[in-house]
Amino acid sequence: MLGARNADRMLIVTTLLLVASGLVMVYSTSFVVAMRKFGDEYFFVKKHVAFAIIGLVLFVAVSRVPYHLYKKLTYPILIGTVILLACLFIPGVGHKVGGATRWLKVMGMTFQPSELAKVAVVIFLAYSLEAKQGVIKSFSLGFLPNILIPGIVIVMVLGQPDLGSAVTLCALVFILCFVAGVSTLHLTGLLIMVLPMLYVVVQKFPYMLQRIYTFLDPWKDPHGAGFQIIQSFLAFGSGGLWGVGLGEGRQKLFYLPEAHTDFIFSVIGEELGLIGVGVVILLYVIFFISGLLVALRAKDLFGRYLALGLTLMITIQAMINMAVVMGVLPSKGLPLPLVSYGGSSLVMSLVAVGIILNVYIKGNEA
């Protein structure tokens, strides 16, 4: 039975199972495209394995670093993240793909600063919410700093544009502030203010408005804007209970765009069926419960908020990704954490799990 005493084991096991599932599914979803484009069916999976190894090495290393060190590094990490995000707006520095400038290219490798931004914001909030616990109900001390500083990061992420990461960050800020005891009146007022601002943002970026229209009626443009989500529906529908078999899916054969990244969950549904989808969801549920138990056992508020924030960072992204590919939410361009192809997401997710594990280790020391 999952309990506080073995939360670390369940955290490690679910993480490794999700990463292993990702390795299998990245190959299954990409080998045809990789062979056609690069003449090497292992092109994507080899890169994914390399990032998985880097991430696992960092996971082990970070799990041995006392999490209290991040208190001292809160502002250097935050400032460094803001600088990296700012570099994306410098012509010739930011790497543009598909109309979005979300990547920095260094020595032939790309890095997505928004993935680091999620971890940086959680560390800042854990530090700030603990430090201001005595005045947490105050507007000027308990509310404003915990909204404005992450807000700067969110605006920079939104400007790339990266709506998925911005939504994840907004959810993290709101939940952590609510859990820490920030005035519900202030948080409610913030939500009321954000709604008209969100309307303005959507109007400014036509692609966001198009995604909303597509979400409401994908069949209106089945060969254009609605093509991807319709192919996702077909993948889930053809999978049935047991799926068509690993590697036997058809939607990945140039029908479903981004099959190995944002829409990998659709191929899981097609090839492994409802059973496979259920197993993946169960793994994320166990991961969330494990992370929550770690947070509850933390010795201090900083550790508690840190473990909770990082756990939510991964599970919120997973929920959004799965909701998008099943047509419950408009498309936001988020990978399925620990599973989808994408080096920055995989590495930073494993770093986050390593930090959570250290919170558990320190929480069990005498």
pLDDT in tens, 79-101: 999 999 998 888 777 777 766 67
Q: Give CA–CA dist 82/157, Å, rounded.
A: 10
Q: What SS3 class is residue 199? A: helix
Residue 64 is predicted with a pLDDT of: 94
Residue 1 is predicted with a pLDDT of: 47
Q: Are 308 and 176 in contact (CB under 8 A)?
A: yes
Residue 4 is predicted with a pLDDT of: 62
Among 252, 154, 248, smallest CA distance to 194 is for 154
Strand 94-97 to strand 100-106: parallel, antiparallel, or no bridges (unpaired)?
antiparallel
pLDDT digits (tens, 9 = 90+) for 15-28: 999 999 999 999 99
Q: What is the DSSP letter of 327?
A: T
Cα dihedral sign for 264, 269, 275, 277? positive
> What is the maximum alpha-carbon separation in the chain?
62
3-state helix, strand, coil in the chain (%, to 5): 70, 5, 25
Residue 51 is predicted with a pLDDT of: 94
Q: What is the DSSP letter of 135?
A: G
Residue 366 is predicted with a pLDDT of: 47
Q: Please give the chain's pLDDT, 366 residues, in tens.
A: 455 667 789 999 999 999 999 999 999 999 888 888 888 899 999 999 999 999 999 999 999 999 999 999 999 999 999 999 998 888 777 777 766 678 787 766 778 899 999 999 999 999 999 999 989 999 999 999 999 999 999 999 988 888 889 989 999 999 999 999 999 999 999 888 888 877 777 777 777 777 887 888 888 888 888 888 888 889 999 988 999 998 888 888 878 877 888 899 999 999 999 999 999 999 999 999 999 999 999 989 999 999 999 999 999 999 999 999 998 888 877 899 999 998 889 999 999 999 999 999 987 764
Q: At what angle do helices 264-297 and 227-239 cross, to 10 degrees?
A: 80
pLDDT digits (tens, 9 = 90+) for 230-286: 888 899 999 889 999 988 888 888 788 778 888 999 999 999 999 999 999 999 999
Q: Are 45 and 23 in contact (CB under 8 A)?
A: yes
Residue 204 is predicted with a pLDDT of: 72
Residue 91 is predicted with a pLDDT of: 79
Q: Are 110 and 104 in contact (CB under 8 A)?
A: yes
Q: Are 334 and 324 in contact (CB under 8 A)?
A: yes
Q: How far is CA 27 from CA 85, 173, 242, in A?
A: 31, 35, 20
Among 180, 67, 165, smallest CA distance to 118 is for 165
Q: Give CA–CA dist 340/168, Å, rounded.
A: 17
| Residue numbers of the domain that contains 119 | 4-363
Residue 111 is predicted with a pLDDT of: 84
The first and second tokens of residue 327, run together, are 């047509």
Task: Give the count of domains, the chain.
Answer: 1
The first and second tokens of residue 12, run together, are 């490690």
What's the CA dihedral at 117, 119, 123, 124 to 10 degrees? 20
Q: Give CA–CA dist 86/155, Å, rounded.
A: 11
Q: Give CA–CA dist 69/53, Å, rounded.
A: 24
Q: Give CA–CA dist 208/202, Å, rounded.
A: 6
HEC string of 100-133 equals EEEEEEECCEEECHHHHHHHHHHHHHHHHHHHCH
Q: Which residues, including other chains, have CB under 8 Å from residue 260's CB and lie 6 or more apart?
A: 25, 26, 29, 30, 33, 44, 252, 340, 341
Residue 345 is predicted with a pLDDT of: 92
The first and second tokens of residue 241, run together, are 């209970």
Task: Please write down the long-range contacts of 324-329, taking CB distance under 8 Å and 24 or more positions apart.
Answer: 324/262, 325/229, 325/232, 325/262, 325/263, 325/265, 325/266, 326/232, 326/236, 327/215, 327/218, 327/229, 327/232, 327/233, 329/215
Q: Considering the entire predicted model, what is its pTM?
A: 0.93
Q: Give CA–CA dist 36/139, Å, rounded.
A: 57
